Amino acid sequence: MAESTVFGGIAGDVIADYLAGQHSNPVQESQMGEMIESILEPFERKSSTSIYSLRDRCKQSMWVNAGLVRSEESLEKAPNEMNEIREQLSTISLSQGRRAFHLEWMEYLSILNYLDVWM
């Protein structure tokens, strides 16, 4: 099962409880529309790159360049690798089908989030 499915559900429950008593700014309709459009884009693209091979490259790059055993040189290399992966991710296409429990889509969203955290 995808990590985002398990831990995303737990995080969703925790954040909902936390935010219940918090004041928040209203959601901007235009921003919400842009976000929805951007996460649905991969369903409209045509690409032969596998989301799973991109995920594996991401994990391998972070392990080699920023893992437990790292050097200044490898840490300097990591952002370039992540930018290349982000570029490839922007061209990836996902298979059509039900979006509920769509594992490719979950991997896509997880990689997007990983890249935001890593950069």
| Whether the predicted pLDDT of 1 surpasses 60 | no
pTM of the model: 0.72
> pLDDT per residue over 66-96, tens digit each?
888 989 999 999 999 999 999 999 999 998 8
pLDDT at residue 108, as a whole number: 94
Q: What is the rounded radius of gyration, in angstroms, for the C-alpha atoms of the chain?
A: 17
Q: Which helix (H) or strand (E) holds 65?
A: helix 51-66
pLDDT at residue 106, as a whole number: 92
Q: Are 79 and 115 in contact (CB under 8 A)?
A: no
> pLDDT per residue over 9-68, tens digit each?
788 888 888 888 888 788 888 889 999 999 999 999 988 889 999 999 999 998 999 888
pLDDT at residue 4, as a whole number: 58
pLDDT at residue 3, as a whole number: 61
- Annotated domain spans of the chain: 48-119
